[in-house]
Amino acid sequence: MLEHNLRRVRIWALTCAALAVLLLAVASCRSSKKEEPAPAGKVTLQTLDETEFGRILERYRGKVVLVDYWALWCVPCKKLFPHTVELYHELAGRGLAVISVSLDGLDNKAEVQEFLRAHEATFDNFIASHEPAEAAVLLGIESGIPHLRLFDRDGKLRGTFPPPQTAVEPAEIDAAVKELLER
Amino acid sequence: MTRRSMIVVAAMAAVVAVAWALAPGLAADQKKLAIGDDAPTWSDLIGIDGAKHSLADYKKADLVVLVFTCNHCPVAQAYEGRLVQLQKDYEAKGVQVVAVNVNNLDADKLDQMKIRATEKGFNFPYLYDASQKIAKDYGATCTPHVFVLDKDRKVAYMGRIDDNQTVSKVKKQDLRSALDAILTGKSPPVTVTLQFGCTIKWD
């Protein structure tokens, strides 16, 4: 009887160990990617040192990255934002990373956070630490906002939206993103 | 692979390469003016006064401060008072502010421009270009975006009005500094700054 129970215990112990190894393997697989995605359902906001943006982008190597520059005062930006969120939810699983950068100035951080939360922006959100005009200079935003940039899996800039002297077309953004994800 | 199929593949690759190069967002064929360029002229732009206006209308002014602006953009709105003050401060020195809107949104159309100008006490012309041609000619990208035209109607400064849309936080009076320099016959220390605001609403 005792022997039977010991055997049972051994089987349980082995099963648990196997499970633990499996979980560890899965976990390490995820964390071997340099940037941990925001935990599902959590909306975060970090202050951005604009001069570090290039280095931050490097962490997303291997993913297609869509950067959405916006501000609370920019009505078309706010209209476009749900589309960015939707795109993220649809394509994150296929390797799309999304970064939002608010150009509202740190004085408006609380309001920015609230907007992001209300829109379930569960990707990586930043707020520029410099005043808007200076942040634009540091980030190289030449045409005002809305402004989006698309980088391929190697970190190369592949598209800016809207293109010069053209209106923003969400469908064009979708097509460009999907095209890069295919590669 | 046959010779023929290799040629076909090479041709297809060439077509793809050309298409890729011309893809939107990569081909930047937008007009960009340089300091010293002749300022693009314009004519027959309807103003809020109901009359048609050309660059030549302002030949009495030494300097023209052309501002691309509009009614609805909060950044442009934040600068309206500053432009009114600028016109007051520099009128006697021969400076003429000329505001232009090229957005065709309902909120920005001529009837709304008249209301806005009255409300905000515009002391300068406010013109409307539904064709958006003047914006394309200047390479204007957002509101507000300014271009200073000197006595010879060459571009002497371009970019932003100052460094902060919140007036209490302004540290650099970029446009005024440029005007002050040009008015004394000097070249401004900074002739180009980066404009920032709402994108122009291209049709």
- 3-state helix/strand/coil string of B109-130: CHHHHHHHHHHHCCCCCEEECC
Q: For chain A, what is the mean pLDDT?
A: 89
Distance from CA of A161 to the nearest CA of B (A): 7
How does residue B3 score in pLDDT terms, banded at 50, 70 and 90?
A: confident
**A130 and chain B: CB distance < 8 Å anywhere?**
no
Q: Residues B81-109: what's their mean pLDDT? A: 98
| Residue found by looking up tokens 């520099």 in the block | B90
- Residues in a beta bridge with A99: A67, A124
ipTM summary value: 0.83
Q: Residues B1-24: what's their mean pLDDT? A: 60
Asked, as a colleague might, if the bond just before A170 is cis with ω within 30 of 0, I would say no
Contacts of B166 in chain A (CB under 8 A): 105
Of all residues in chain A, the one with the smallest CA distance to B138 is A165
Contact A131 B203 (CB under 8 A): no
pLDDT in tens, A7-55: 776 777 676 666 666 666 555 554 444 444 555 679 999 999 999 999 9
pLDDT of residue A36: 47
Q: Is the pLDDT of residue B4 over 60?
A: yes
Angle at B23 between CA A91 and CA A70, to 5 degrees: 55
Q: Residues A134-143: what's their mean pLDDT? A: 95
Contacts of B174 in chain A (CB under 8 A): none
pLDDT in tens, B97-135: 999 999 999 999 999 999 999 999 999 999 999 999 999
pLDDT of residue A34: 46
Of all residues in chain B, the one with the smallest CA distance to A161 is B25
Of B28, B196, B203, the CB nearest to A144: B196
**B123 and chain A: CB distance < 8 Å anywhere?**
no
Q: Residues B67-86: what's their mean pLDDT? A: 98
Instruction: Tell which B residues from 60 to 119 touch A, by Cβ distance under 8 Å.
Output: 72, 74-75
How does residue B5 score in pLDDT terms, banded at 50, 70 and 90?
A: confident
| DSSP output for A144-164 | -BSEEEEE-TTS-EEEEESPT
> Which residues make Cβ contacts (< 8 Å) with residue B123, sequence separation at least 6?
B84, B87, B88, B91, B97
Q: Residues A94-122: what's their mean pLDDT? A: 97
Residue, of A87 and A23, whose pLDDT is higher: A87
Separation CA A74–CA A77 (nearest Å): 5
pLDDT of residue A21: 63
pLDDT of residue A179: 97
Enter the tokens of residue A16.
């648990």
Contact B72 A161 (CB under 8 A): no
Q: In what order do the strands lie in the sheet with A147-151?
A: A46-48, A124-128, A96-102, A64-70, A147-151, A157-161
**B121 and chain A: CB distance < 8 Å anywhere?**
no
B12 alpha carbon, distance to own chain's centre = 41
Distance from CA of B133 to the nearest CA of A (A): 11
Distance from CA of B130 to the nearest CA of A (A): 14
Share of chain B above pLDDT 70, in %: 88
Distance from CA of B35 to the nearest CA of A (A): 17
Of A133, A134, A142, the CB nearest to B141: A142
Do A176 and A96 meet the contact criterion of CB atoms below 8 Å apart?
no
Separation CA A159–CA A151 (nearest Å): 7
Contacts of B30 in chain A (CB under 8 A): 164-165
Contact B25 A159 (CB under 8 A): yes
A120 alpha carbon, distance to own chain's centre = 12
Q: Residues B11-34: what's their mean pLDDT? A: 58
Please tell me the pTM assigned to this model. Answer: 0.82
pLDDT in tens, B158-186: 999 999 999 999 999 999 999 999 999 99
Mutate to test the interface with A, among B134, B198, B203 (most CBs of A within 10 A): B198
Distance from CA of A142 to the nearest CA of B (A): 7
Q: Is the pLDDT of residue B12 over 90?
A: no
Q: Residues A122-148: what's their mean pLDDT? A: 97
**B196 and chain A: CB distance < 8 Å anywhere?**
yes
Contact A75 B136 (CB under 8 A): no
Enter the tokens of residue A144.
């005002």
pLDDT of residue B8: 64
Contacts of B133 in chain A (CB under 8 A): none
Separation CA B179–CA B156 (nearest Å): 9
Instruction: Tell which B residues from 157 to 176 touch A, by Cβ distance under 8 Å.
Output: 160, 163-166, 169
Asked, as a colleague might, if the bond just before A132 is cis with ω within 30 of 0, I would say no
